[in-house]
Amino acid sequence: MSNFYETLQSATQIEREYLLSAPIFKAVFESEICIEQYVGFLEQAYHHVKHTVPLLMACGAQLGDDKEWLREAIAHYIEEELGHQEWILNDIAACGFDKEAVRHSQPGFATEMMVSYAYDSIQRISPLSFFGMVNVLEGTSIMLADKAATQIRNKLGLPQKAFSYLTSHGALDLEHIDFFAGLMNRIEDPQEQQMIIHAAKRFYCLYGAIFHAIDTQVGSFVKEAS
């Protein structure tokens, strides 16, 4: 079996480095993060995570009969991802902020553009484009989620219940990535592989832009609960 998954990782290294260069990561790992930055991250996470299941559904609906095995995998992903946006809102509440204000807020520009591109690429290019997004989101979680949660909790003194999204995704996505790698290694058509690489590059840049924008968005959209 080919190892397209490893090819995908090496082909997207430059874009991955752009994401990891966002100042928010330096703030986290040098214990300089403030609660507004953490809640700002959670707000933007809410605004894209709530689209995960609809995007999976859209992707599955567009797959051809030759990709029935992939549609079955998408059904597995949907079961795993249901309701995760509510975890994020509960984390926000545990930080002392109004989760309903977040629920009814608007996404940042970068977040809206990433979500828009996800829907657009499924329809305009190929449903396989969505797996570029899966690669980015799950790969980033594995690299950062658990470590970031520990650093933020130590710095801000927040309760464990303020980190259900980060801590669950660190462990959950570690399982997911093995599953995902197996799926990608079944994609053998060079044109389909290039579609996924192209999408992953775009999603690293789009997701990276969300993190690069967090500092500029602090305090603009989350009101502390009274």
226 in a domain, yes or no?
Answer: no
What is the C-alpha separation between 18 and 25, in angstroms, rounded? Answer: 12
Is 99 contained in some domain? yes
Does residue 225 fall inside a structural domain? no
Global confidence as pTM: 0.90
Give me 226's structure tokens: 């009274």
Residue 131 lies in a domain: yes
State the total domains in the chain: 1
Domain extent for 158: 13-217
Q: Examine residue 119 and state whether it is found in any structural domain, yes or no.
A: yes
- Over its length of 226 residues, how does the chain's per-residue pLDDT go in tens digits? 469 999 999 999 999 999 999 999 988 888 888 999 999 999 999 999 999 999 999 999 999 999 999 999 999 989 988 989 999 999 999 999 999 999 999 999 999 999 999 999 999 999 999 999 999 998 887 777 778 888 899 899 999 999 999 887 655 556 677 889 999 999 999 999 999 999 999 999 999 999 999 875 555 445 554 4
